[in-house]
A and B are shown apart, each in its own frame.
Chain A
Amino acid sequence: MAVRVVSRIRDQDDYLSTTLSDGLYLRYDAATGKFAPAPLAGTNAVGVNLPGGNLILAGGRGTGNAAPGVVKIQVATPGASGSALATLADVLTATNTGVKIAVRPFLAAPNSGPGDADLSANELTSYTVQADKQVAARVKRGDGTLYTARFGEQQAALANTSGATLTALETEVNALKARLRAYGAILDPPFSPASVQGLVLWLDAGQGLFQSTGGAAATANADPVGQWMDQSGNARHGTQATTAAKPTLRLNQVNGRPALRFDGADDFFSLAAWPAGATSGELFLVVKLVADPPSDSTSGLWSIGASGSDTHFPYIENNIYDDCLSTVRKNLGDPLPSLSSAYHIYSVASAAGAWTARLDGATLFTTATNTYGVAASPKLGQSLSTRVLNGHIAEFFAYSSVLSAPDRVSVLTHLSTKYAIPVS
């Protein structure tokens, strides 16, 4: 696999656009003052100090701790050792084929970068990017403030293996009346649920699936999943030790992404206790039912509230009843979209005196009468009693507070793009 690398060097008007083949990495050549492909020495990327003491930049595709097919770009402050770089490496680690990498090798003094540049100039074209990666450029506005102009994230052309022309969104540029000053392109960490503060739990069917706790990875279609690893870093994994009750991995379910199948008989996950002391929260679930309405016994969804009553998603008369993060179950009514014809984003926000449920971003139900409450032993895929989910879950994550409107929009936009689900 070849990797295309683009970079601009501080205080120099040179520009590198090259193909970094297997065994080569990007090295700063102090003699020429330029980056250039170089043979990979040692086990992985190495770093060098840039003149001016800004950043160390090193990237490469190696045979050491970078597994085949994995490309790592590491950025750290001068003097950092290779091991110290590792903590930042994951941020800028990209896997899969067709990885596009663009680096901004200077952070300390972005104002002193090279001359003005139009983001639509040739230098910012012909990238090959992953569909869920963002490409961004640091842009200086007319008043001197800096912002990151993002572009390309939602372009359909940005498939894993296809080249795409990247240009800044005109609306964004015009709205800010920015004098575009490009200091180089960077690979921002792609937006994820962790980009919003307060993430307490993140289960993604695309990663972290194991057939049992500490067991083999679940990667093949129909593999049972006994542990769904929490990607939030809080170790709130979904677990199921009984084989019969393990959901199964189903590949290529929604926008090419996998989902977990809950069989409508006995499948569910136990979740770790919710954060102690939390007084509010917001949850997002990407879900599709097998039948809408389901039968009584398959009207379950989760047990995350404290009302003592079952959640029904929906009940047999089509109304959704949910007590998520609340002491009282609410009747949300009958959602108009079929919950079985397509995947939907179901979300609930709960705080003292405020509870709102949304479907694909549109409010299903809201009330100012609410007391926050959470189940002592939360479950996903089964309500408080034995009612279970007959359907698929692609992703589930939760925050320990109600999101701001901009953060909610960011989350919904991310999910909409990721799963090709239209949102309001």
Chain B
Amino acid sequence: MATLWMHRHIVIVSDADRAAANQAAVEMFGGEAQRQTFSVPLSPTGLPPATHWGCFTSATEGHRQAMLVRLRANRVASARFWRLESGTGLLAESNHAGRADKTGGACDWPDALADMALKVITPPSPLLPGV
């Protein structure tokens, strides 16, 4: 049986749009737990403060269409997305200028971060060499 969750969406929004993006996630997926959707802090240097927030989520076709409706309505103006086929991980669609013509190729979370020139902000891990 094929999954109904045929898509994987990487979505990155600006810090200013984070609340609106999480609200959209609550509406699309249902439940207050979705307000934690954009939970990965990002910045160009990998240091605080976060300039952007990201998520990497499974999505059904219904979720995909719901997201496009919200994008067309410009509810989260800064949103950049990379839609992957959930079975293969290959890029099916993106609204990022540098990636839009590369559908069918491999794409993953680090590629999206590279497209945006962003890094995940990680706290120091004490007692490790070099940190």
Contact = CB atoms under 8 A, between A and B. Distances in A.
Given A222-B87, A295-B110, A243 B57 contact: yes
B120 to A, nearest CB: 4
B123 A386 contact: yes
Given A222-B6, A317-B129, A385-B125, A248 B55 contact: no
A315 B37 contact: no
Interface stretch (A2-10, A151-159, A167-175, A263-271): A263-271
A265 B82 CA distance: 14
B120 A297 contact: yes
B122 A386 contact: yes
Interface residues of A, number: 31
B39 A266 contact: yes
A245 B127 contact: no
A69 to B, nearest CB: 16
Q: How large is the interface on B (under 10, 10 to 19, 20 to 34, 35 or more residues)?
A: 35 or more
A222 B58 contact: yes
Interface in A201-247: 219-224, 241-246
B65 to A, nearest CB: 16
- Per DSSP, chain B at the interface is loop
A296 B122 contact: yes
Contacts of B122: 296-297, 385-387
Contacts of B120: 295-297, 386
A265 B112 CA distance: 11
A310 interface: yes
Interface string A300-331: 00000000011010010100010000000100
The SS class assigned to the A binding surface is loop
A221 B3 contact: yes
Contact of A243 (B4, B37, B110, B130): B37
A295 B34 CA distance: 26
Contacts of A264: 56, 108-110
A385 B123 contact: yes
A312 B33 contact: no
B56 A244 contact: yes
A329 B128 CA distance: 10
Interface string A74-102: 00000000000000000000000000000
A329 B86 CA distance: 36
A385 B2 CA distance: 35
Contacts of A315: 125, 128
B40 interface: yes
B73 interface: no
Interface in A247-268: 248, 263-267
Given A241-B31, A245-B39, A385-B122, A223 B109 contact: no
Contact of B10 (A220, A265, A297, A386): A265
Interface string B28-63: 010101101111110000000000001111100000
Contacts of B31: 241
B128 A244 contact: no
Interface string B51-88: 00011111000000000000000000000000000110
B126 interface: yes
A266 B109 CA distance: 10
B125 A244 contact: no
A242 B86 contact: no
A222 B25 CA distance: 20
Contact of B109 (A219, A263, A310, A321): A263
Nearest to A220: B3
Contacts of B29: 243
In the A-B complex, the 8 residue pairs with the closest CB atoms: A241-B33, A244-B57, A265-B56, A297-B120, A222-B86, A220-B3, A244-B55, A224-B58
Given A263-B8, A264-B110, A266-B40, 4 more contacts: A220-B3, A265-B55, A312-B125, A315-B128
